[in-house]
Amino acid sequence: MRLTVIGTGYLGATHAACMAELGHEVLGVDVDPEKIAALSAGKVPFHEPGLPELIAKHTASGRLRFTTSYAEAGAFGEVHFVCVGTPQRRDSDAADLTYVDAAFAALAAHAAPDALLVGKSTVPVGTAGRLARTCDPEVAWNPEFLREGFAVEDTLRPDRLVFGVESARAETILRAVYAPVLAAGTPLVTADFPTAELVKTAANAFLATKISFINAMAEVCEAAGGDVRTLAEALGHDDRIGPKFLSAGVGFGGGCLPKDIRAFAHRADELGTPLSFLREVDAINMRRRDRVAQLARELCGGDVLGVRVAVLGAAFKPGSDDIRDSPALAVAARLRLEGADVTVHDPEAMDNARKAFPLLGYALTAEDALRGAGLVLHLTEWPQFRAIDPERAAMLVARPRIVDGRGVLDADRWTAAGWRFRALGRPAPE
């Protein structure tokens, strides 16, 4: 089939490449000419494992092309997937739908009357219905659940597909697009528009709640002298709870969970069905950043003024160079404001971090960041950081003091190597 993918960021570039991999002819469309030039040359302007290979393969085969022209997209596509951003508005918690509205308006002007316009962006419930009433070509909603760092795998072998459709024709078209994925046994849930939109926001709200739940337990452990790692292990053995998303730490960030729970709470208020617990989920999450800064001050004898701080991590999570709402950079920037001399290292996110936080220092290797540091903060869970040898690291730093903001370092090993070691939700080692 001939598909277009509108918006070629993390979601759209992955979706376009994976649709080509499924055998379709794909045209990616973006308003950013630099992004389109890079992708046309087979280059991916962000870090996503497996994606460069797929983009290179299909730009070379001719099955995947990119353009900035909606006229070209309209003439080309039978099905148009809209993957543009829905960030938080500057003036409220609501989602900014400017880009989605602009993409649908442009498609409505250029697409063939019998084309199908399929939204994939995460939107407040009610958006699909509103767009369907204003667009001539038929609209469907097909929310996306991919995880950055596993985006290709999650697109080609998703846990489930959700089709929000208003006609059998739309369902038939989407079934044809995803035929190889469905043939592999992927569960399909077909729903009305509001339900399809809500599956996505509810899934993110649930995941954020699970993380904030264990982080709230970490707060209680800190006050009561318990150990949240042991607590989480014991909770996770219960099948009804499960061990995933139960790692206490500096909390979630990124371009999805924080803005999605805020937008969901905002939309729920509008609907008269408040989800006030989501505001607490958000607040617990933000308090963990404060707690890391507090532990940093405590380890430095009261304040971090003039302390050389090595921050290990800038991406909001490992496997990604995405720094949107990154807890690591939020803590790094805060300590810089408190007078610390902060040096950040991240295996993939250095360029993005440098652009967004030009006043922080940057080191090309973790060793360079550690050299001469009076305090180390471990804030993104890259496997490289977990593999650091505490004895060797102790020889590099000026003072062996570390906060493990991800709760994965072996406290006994670090303490035995001479480090003063603090983690979230756990008592300080004797």
Q: Which is nearer to ligand NAD, 35 or 110 (CB)?
A: 35
Least distance to ligand NAD, CB of residue 6, Å: 5
Least distance to ligand NAD, CB of residue 11, Å: 3
User: What HEC string does the chain produce?
Assistant: CEEEEECCCHHHHHHHHHHHHCCCEEEEECCCHHHHHHHHCCCCCCCCCCHHHHHHHHHHHCCEEEECCHHHHHHHCCEEEECCCCCECCCCCCECCHHHHHHHHHHHHHCCCCCEEEECCCCCCCHHHHHHHHCCCEEEECCCCCCCCCHHHHHHCCCCEEEECCCHHHHHHHHHHCHHHHHCCCCEEEECHHHHHHHHHHHHHHHHHHHHHHHHHHHHHHHHCCCHHHHHHHHHCCCCCCCCCCCCCCCCCCCCHHHHHHHHHHHHHHHCCCCHHHHHHHHHHHHHHHHHHHHHHHHCCCCCCCCEEEEECCCCCCCCCCCCCCHHHHHHHHHHHCCCEEEEECCCCHHHHHHHCCCCEECCCHHHHHCCCCEEEECCCCHHHHCCCHHHHHHHCCCCEEEECCCCCCHHHHHHCCCEEEECCCCCCC
**Has 148 been labeled as part of a binding site?**
yes
139 lies in the site for ligand NAD, by CB under 6 A:
no
Q: Which of 77, 85, 318, 327 binds ligand NAD (CB under 6 A)?
A: 85
Least distance to ligand NAD, CB of residue 156, Å: 15
The number of residues that bind ligand NAD (CB under 6 A) is 26
Q: Which is nearer to ligand NAD, 7 or 405 (CB)?
A: 7
Q: Which of 29, 199, 275, 396 binds ligand NAD (CB under 6 A)?
A: 29
Using alpha carbons only, give the angle 167, 171, 176 rounded to the nearest 5 degrees.
145
407 lies in the site for ligand NAD, by CB under 6 A:
no
Alpha carbons 305 and 300: distance in angstroms, whole number: 9
12 lies in the site for ligand NAD, by CB under 6 A:
yes
84 lies in the site for ligand NAD, by CB under 6 A:
yes
Q: Which is nearer to ligand NAD, 46 or 421 (CB)?
A: 46
97 lies in the site for ligand NAD, by CB under 6 A:
no
Q: Which of 4, 8, 155, 209 binds ligand NAD (CB under 6 A)?
A: 8
The yes-or-no answer on residue 256 being catalytic is yes
Q: Which is nearer to ligand NAD, 201 or 247 (CB)?
A: 201
Tokens of 305: 């003024």
Q: Which of 21, 25, 30, 93 binds ligand NAD (CB under 6 A)?
A: 30
**Has 317 been labeled as part of a binding site?**
yes
Show contacts with ligand NAD in window 212-271 (CB under 6 A): 255-256
**Has 43 been labeled as part of a binding site?**
no
Q: Which of 4, 59, 86, 127 binds ligand NAD (CB under 6 A)?
A: 86
> Which residue in the shown chain puts its C-beta closest to ligand NAD?
9
Task: Tell me which stretch binds ligand NAD (CB under 6 A): 95-103, 337-345, 369-377, 384-392.
Answer: 95-103
Q: Per the residue annotation, which of 83, 221, 256, 300 is the catalytic one?
A: 256
Least distance to ligand NAD, CB of residue 373, Å: 32
Q: Which is nearer to ligand NAD, 77 or 85 (CB)?
A: 85
Least distance to ligand NAD, CB of residue 200, Å: 7
Alpha carbons 343 and 306: distance in angstroms, whole number: 13
Burial 180-211 (b: 16+ CB within 10 A, else e): ebeeeeeeeebbebeebbbbbbebbbebbbbb
**Has 76 been labeled as part of a binding site?**
no
Binding residues: 30, 35, 86, 122, 145-148, 200, 245-249, 253, 259, 317, 324
Site residues for ligand NAD per CB under 6 A: 6-12, 29-32, 35, 83-86, 99, 102-103, 121-122, 144, 146, 148, 255-256
Pick out the residues of the known binding site for NAD(+). Answer: 30, 35, 86, 122, 148, 259, 324
Active site residues: 256
